[in-house]
Amino acid sequence: MKILISGAAGQLGTELRRVLEHGKSELGILPIELLGAEVCSYDVDTLDITKQASCRRVLQTEKPDVVINCSAYTNVDKCEVERDAAFAVNALGPRNLAICCEEVGAKLIHISTDYVFAGTEQEPRSEYDLPDPISMYGKTKLLGEAYVREFCSRYFILRTAWLYGYAGNNFVKTMLKYGKANGALTVVSDQLGNPTNAADLAHHILKLAATTEYGVYHCTGEGTCSWYDFAAEIIRLAGIDATVTPCTSAGYAAAHPEAASRPAFSALDNKMLRCSVGNDMRDWKEALACFFDNYHEY
């Protein structure tokens, strides 16, 4: 099998490459179809997904069996200001990959987000719930999903949330940095969701890649917590001498008027995984503890 990864230098792309190289993840052995897979790694310098000509040139040359799109404009606040850039990466990029995957007969695995939901419901969202994004990030990601569905017949859309991994920047590393530097953190306590370890997400992406179980999936860590809960557990596991103080979204918005609106309750239910290939996503605390067992740069 030949697998092409776009956004291969990011935290998820790096984790996918590592898992494929070793033939196993923290959750277990990969499907036999993926063992020894040929991996083609592309980042923005070699594959600009916002340009259809770039996508077509690369896919026609490589002719992969599977394309995994990890490219995204993920700075939620900047998406509100740099709207054209967010639209190009999050919407046009998936469209271009979908069209070119269809041309070469490749499966497309596209990574989306919990932010396609408004977050006004008080129970985890399932794949059949209707999206209603409240930020430009969520809106552009939702349009990217729509383009994938429209232009590719062999697609998997995986919505994930609060992602962290060994490579790249993420909330875990930010809390470690500022907790160690300042000895104090103030974190929003009334926004709830599912912290997700990139190792768990990578395992399920690759498990799906070996199948024809096409469709929309939610793929997040099990269990729901607030950003404050998440930060407090990070500081505790790291053993950093820092206090973590809760604040409200309204208080944070008053101090940071440039910040985009975020869902109050964006937890997802991994229903499609449970009902098809199986849901092996770990409880968020278990997965975070495993992360710290293997991450030693703090």
Looking at residue 84, its pLDDT comes to 98
CATH code for the domain defined by 2-169+196-223+266-282 = 3.40.50.720
Beta strands in the chain (DSSP E): 2-6, 24-25, 28-29, 38-42, 66-69, 107-113, 155-160, 163-164, 184-188, 192-193, 196-197, 215-218, 225-226, 243-247
Is residue 285 very low, low, confident or very high in pLDDT (cuts 50, 70, 90)? very high
Looking at residue 257, its pLDDT comes to 86
Q: Nearest-5° angle of CA 162, CA 266, CA 140?
A: 80
Q: Among residues 137, 155, 217, 252, which one is catalytic?
A: 137
Per-residue pLDDT for 298 more than 70? no
| 31, burial (CB in 10 Å: exposed 0-12, middle 13-18, buried 19+) | middle
Per residue in 174-223, pLDDT tens?
999 999 999 999 999 999 999 999 999 999 999 999 999 999 999 999 99
State in Å, rounded, how far the first CA of the chain is from the last one.
37
pLDDT (mean) for 47-72: 98
Q: How many CB atoms lie within 10 A of CB 78?
A: 16
Domain boundaries of the chain, sorted by first residue? 2-169+196-223+266-282
Per-residue pLDDT for 297 more than 80? no
Per residue in 247-274, pLDDT tens?
999 998 888 888 888 999 999 999 999 9
> How far apart (Å, rounded) are the C-alpha atoms in residues 290 and 279?
18
Cα-flanking dihedrals φ and ψ of residue 108, to 5°?
Answer: -120, 125
Q: Nearest-5° angle of CA 39, CA 5, CA 26?
A: 75
Q: How far is CA 81 from CA 77, 92, 118, in A?
A: 7, 18, 20
Selection from 193, 215, 211, 6 nearest residue 90 by Cα = 6
Which string of DSSP letters, residue by residue, matches 211-269? Answer: S---EEEE---BS-EEHHHHHHHHHHHHT---EEEEE-HHHHHHH-TTPPP--SB--B-
Helix (H, G, I), strand (E, B) or coil at 58: helix
Note the pTM of the prediction, 2 decimals. 0.96
The verdict on whether 214 is a catalytic residue reads no
Per-residue pLDDT for 295 more than 60? yes
Paired with 225 in beta bridges are 193
Selection from 239, 242, 233, 238 nearest residue 184 by Cα = 242
